[in-house]
Amino acid sequence: MSGGRKPRPTPNLSALTSPSNTGPSLLISGFTDTPQPAVEDVPVEQITPRATQPRRSFPEAALEQLAASIRTHGVLQPLAVLERPGGYDLIAGERRLRAAKRAGLTRVPVKVFKGLNEAQVRQLAAVENLQREDLNPVDETDAIMDILAAELALPREELSGRLERWKTLRMKDPALGRATEEERAQIARLEELFRSLSKGDWTSFVANRLPILRLPTDLLEAVRSGAVEYTKAVALRRLPEAERAALLAEAGTQSLQALRKEVARRTAALDAQSESDVTALWETLRSPAMKRRLEQLPENEQARARALLGELSGLLQGSPAPTKR
């Protein structure tokens, strides 16, 4: 057996892009048949990337490598575009478009879709991008979430909460005896989708992949660019931004176990420092010098200072002093 990289499972997307026995899937809602786009060569200046492209990270070295390949072999896989008056909106293939421009091409092959609404464009973009070998974990998770939102007919902003609730329901009640009919239907559809996507169990996706989308911006971009693995980014999330910046630069050469130990050590040190700072502040406030300074204040400032000290004492002891109205 070779020591090479294990081949990535190929998603079976027919369930997402073909009509079913009960009518078209939500992915092609509004079509009477699966769309069959024409393939044409179009000028690159007529293609406009969309702001909501699922793929967002384009490492410079990889882009130059693709440009070199395009100079030799051309664009082997057509881009996907939506026809509009005067040009085309890009659905999928922004990296190929950028590399083609860098390689000096003036025209590129594209699959031209017509008459799609915004929801259908986003769904097709997600499906197209999900099949890329080099898609990073952040954009892959985003693409899967776009597909799930479309197929389950849910707004994207509500989807994470629903998935987590269904996961808790499944874990506590595997037979779904306490679930509503609608919940059982949605979970059944969810399981069907993950079988088609070849992405394993949906509860594992909820537990292990959804947290990626909650990462702070610096860690999210590091995962997108390939600078750090997402499991390491999740470990680094425990640290404040200033602390994790230096550790982020070293994370690529550390094992996950070593990184977690270092994060735990730094977190403990920060907690100890915080406790020390609070103790020092408390001792300062109780010192004779501070008492003398308080007595030297004008009467109105003394009253205000005593009220603030009383409120602080109450907060630290778990019983905040009442605020005067």
**Per-residue pLDDT reduced to its tens digit, 259-279:** 888 888 888 877 666 566 666
Are residues 269 and 296 located together in one domain of the fold?
Answer: no
Domain count, the chain: 2
Q: pTM higher than 0.85 for the full model?
A: no
Is 181 within the bounds of a domain? no
CB atoms within 10 A of CB 74: 12
Are residues 290 and 322 located together in one domain of the fold?
Answer: yes
Is 294 within the bounds of a domain? yes
Q: Calculate the CA dihedral of residues 198, 199, 201, 202 and round it to 10 degrees.
A: -120
Are residues 234 and 271 located together in one domain of the fold?
Answer: yes
Are residues 270 and 292 located together in one domain of the fold?
Answer: no
d(CA 177, CA 179): 6
Q: Does pLDDT of 25 surpass 60?
A: no
Are residues 224 and 249 located together in one domain of the fold?
Answer: yes
Are residues 270 and 291 located together in one domain of the fold?
Answer: no
Is 149 within the bounds of a domain? no
Residues 6 or more apart in contact with residue 150 via CB below 8 angstroms:
26, 27, 119, 122, 123, 126
Are residues 259 and 294 located together in one domain of the fold?
Answer: no
Tens-digit pLDDT profile for residues 153-210: 899 899 999 999 999 999 999 999 999 999 999 999 999 989 888 778 999 999 989 9
> Using an 8 Å Cβ cutoff, are 132 and 56 in contact?
no
d(CA 110, CA 90): 9
* 316 band by pLDDT with thresholds 50, 70 and 90: low
d(CA 174, CA 166): 11
Is 197 within the bounds of a domain? no
Is 309 within the bounds of a domain? yes
Is 58 within the bounds of a domain? no
> Using an 8 Å Cβ cutoff, are 309 and 302 in contact?
no
Q: Residue 188 in 3-state DSSP?
A: helix
Query: Residue range 57-85: average pLDDT?
Result: 88
DSSP state of 26: G
Q: Out of 255, 276, 297, pick the residue that ends a domain.
A: 276
Average pLDDT, the chain: 80
Are residues 262 and 290 located together in one domain of the fold?
Answer: no
Are residues 240 and 271 located together in one domain of the fold?
Answer: yes
| Domain range for 272 | 215-276
Is 325 within the bounds of a domain? yes
Tokens of 309: 């000290």
* 325 band by pLDDT with thresholds 50, 70 and 90: very low
Which has the minimum average pLDDT: 23-27, 55-59, 225-229, 274-278?
23-27
Is 57 within the bounds of a domain? no
Q: Calculate the CA dihedral of residues 133, 125, 92, 13 and round it to 10 degrees.
A: 50
Using DSSP bridges, classify how beta strands 79-84 and 87-92 pair: parallel, antiparallel or unpaired. Answer: antiparallel
In the chain the first and final C-alpha atoms are separated, in Å, by 77
- The pLDDT of residue 170 is 92
